[in-house]
Amino acid sequence: MRDRALCAALSDAELSLLNRSAVRRRLVRGEALFHAGGSARCGNLISGLLKISAVDSEGREQIVALAFPGDFVGRLDGSEPHDVTALGPAELCLFPRAVMAAALDRHRRMEQLLMARTRAAMDEARDRLSRWLRGPAEDRVMALLTELAARAGSPSFTLPLTRGDMADALGLTLETVSRVMSRLRAAGRIQAAGRTRITLPPA
């Protein structure tokens, strides 16, 4: 994990120093890590999957990003504009903001890594604008499934989101997602064992 996280920039000595203020945290499905408004901590996702979401004025939830293992979560300035919630069992390594900020200040390489990640997150958000939130529902669902397969590193994977979560991510309703999944299965564009075991044909 360490090589995937920001800590890759640190020496062993520095790492153990940082680790003294580290807090391990485990979440279960649906448990909130942060709420919109602020947080005193930030850190890395070790395992599991998080959703980063906003709730609009009508009370509907929009997922603006997913966090995968190795991703940095939280803000250095404590301004957390979104809710961050576990989609399943998840494990994190958290630090007080001040500690993280000091580490970044000390290690330029670490700061550059964070910069690169932020850029990547921006590109991902923009990508989603074009690939997940336009066009017919079928295309959106396929785009999401394709992304998850890519992240899983295999065309066969366990779907970590409920239909409702998928709907919130894609800007659709739960029912539409369900119908589309059924249609995709019937058309042979995906294979499904149970409700969460998905396989994408080579195509």
Task: Catalog residues that contact DNA under the rule CB under 7 A.
Answer: 30, 136-138, 162-164, 171-182, 194-196
- Residue 56 contact partner, candidates DNA, its own copies, none, CB within 5 to 8 A by sort of partner: its own copies
Comparing CB distances to DNA, the nearer of 100 and 142 is: 142
DSSP code at position 161: S
Q: Which tokens go with 118?
A: 């932020």
SS3 state at 170: helix
Residue 102 burial (CB < 10 Å; 0-12/13-18/19+)?
middle
Site for its own copies in 54-83 (CB under 8 A): 54, 56, 58, 60, 62, 64-65, 81-82
Q: Which tokens go with 64?
A: 């603006």
DSSP code at position 8: G
Site for its own copies in 97-126 (CB under 8 A): 108, 111, 114-115, 118-119, 121-123, 125-126
Q: Give me the sheet containing 156-158, strands edge to edge.
A: 156-158, 197-199, 191-193
| Residues found near its own copies in the complex (CB under 8 A) | 52, 54, 56, 58, 60, 62, 64-65, 81-82, 108, 111, 114-115, 118-119, 121-123, 125-131, 133-135, 171
